[in-house]
Amino acid sequence: MIKDLYLSQPKKRILIQKDDLKYDGSNLVIPSYWADSLFDFLTRVNKEKIEPADLEDLSSLKHFLADVIEHKTEGN
């Protein structure tokens, strides 16, 4: 069912691409194998230099990446 919804949407052209990173004008496409590296980079960020309002966004991004990492390793 979900697959059918995505198939009915017109395919967006890629505006910017660097290796496997893509941007279609509204979405960033980052391959899941980058999740481990991004999570590692974000855990090393000095949180004292980040505004309190932005810390919530950082936390959300880290949790999202952790969920991606967990999902990738479930089948292994």
List 22's β-bridge partners, or say none.
Answer: 17, 29
| The total number of residues written for the chain in this structure | 76
> How much is the pTM?
0.73
pLDDT of 5 strictly over 60: no
pLDDT of 7 strictly over 70: no
Instruction: Check residue 10 and give its pLDDT.
Output: 62
pLDDT tens column, 21-63: 999 999 999 999 999 999 999 999 999 999 998 999 999 999 9
Sorted by where each begins, the domain ranges of the chain are 2-74
Query: What does each C-alpha distance from 19 to 13, 23, 26, 66 come to in angstroms?
Result: 16, 11, 18, 23
